[in-house]
Amino acid sequence: MLPALVAAIPSPSSGSIDLGPLKLNAYGLMIALGVIVAVRIAGRRAAARGVTDADGFAAIAMWGVPAGIIGGRLYHVVTSTESFRGRWVEALYVWQGGLGIWGGILCGVLAGLWKARRMGLDPLAVLSCAAPAIAVAQAIGRWGNWFNQELFGRPTDLPWALSVSAGTAADAGYPAGTTFHPTFLYESLGCLLIALILVLIEKKRDPARGRLFAHYVMLYTAMRFFIEGLRVDPARGTGGLRLNQWVSLAVFAAAGLMLLADLRRSRGARGASTVDSHE
């Protein structure tokens, strides 16, 4: 019986969760849950470091989160225009899935930094507080893809393979009964590992303000490059790589160069490694 139980991870039969008379969209619920947990974690980190209190960070999130959702949706729509041609109103249906992490992070971070500066806070310190929390939010949010039966990887018969409906398999170009790599699970676990690594880096190296976010970007893009290579959903690409793999490489390189330049600048500046310049 044990082999049968672990032969595949079943997919939910519905993309919604019923709570008595309430019927909640599971994708949206996972995103909302991830945001709530992340804001709580980041708020506690900010309070512990004297950056701002929990209410102050919540005020930043009130700008960063909506901007991140808008940016994430815009990225998805722009890079998947063929999916919306002739039915552009569906570009507004965020609850059906489709948030590009690159647009989400860019717009969310910019809005959050703007609000932090308006509040008289140190934007880089705020970024450092948010870095592990963002990874946790992604880990939770990825389960929305499981409910939607989307963004899975290539076929596999591994014990943890993902089983999807016959219709979903057919839409992906595979016969009913085909099982796939659960890339949502890989990324969810990977993001939790990234959050742990960031906390360990912080404890052992006490990085200067903002550097922890650069570490997050490099760790996430490295992981995403390989996970993206497993996926079978339609995507633009060139040179044998998907668009998001090229973006991962570019963002990884940019974060690495910024981190290297900051390290060199800090070493050359007197007092750059004092406690006052650290988180």
| Cα(27)–Cα(150) distance, integer angstroms | 11
Query: Under a CB-based contact definition with an 8 Å cutoff, are residues 42 and 56 in contact?
Result: no
Q: How far is CA 48 from the centre of its chain?
A: 24
The Cα-based distances of 234 to 61, 151, 229 in angstroms read 32, 9, 12
Residue 11, pLDDT score? 87
Residue 96, pLDDT score? 62
Residue 268, pLDDT score? 67
The Cα-based distances of 101 to 74, 106, 204 in angstroms read 10, 8, 29
Cβ-in-10-Å burial (0-12, 13-18, 19+) of 222 comes to middle
Residue 123, pLDDT score? 94
How many CB atoms neighbour CB 16 within 10 A? 16
Residue 136, pLDDT score? 97
DSSP label at 48?
H
- Where the chain has pLDDT below 70, the residues are 1-7, 16, 18-24, 82-85, 90, 93-98, 268-279
Residue 73, pLDDT score? 83
DSSP label at 278?
B
User: Six-digit token pair at 193?
Assistant: 């590992």
Residue 21, pLDDT score? 63
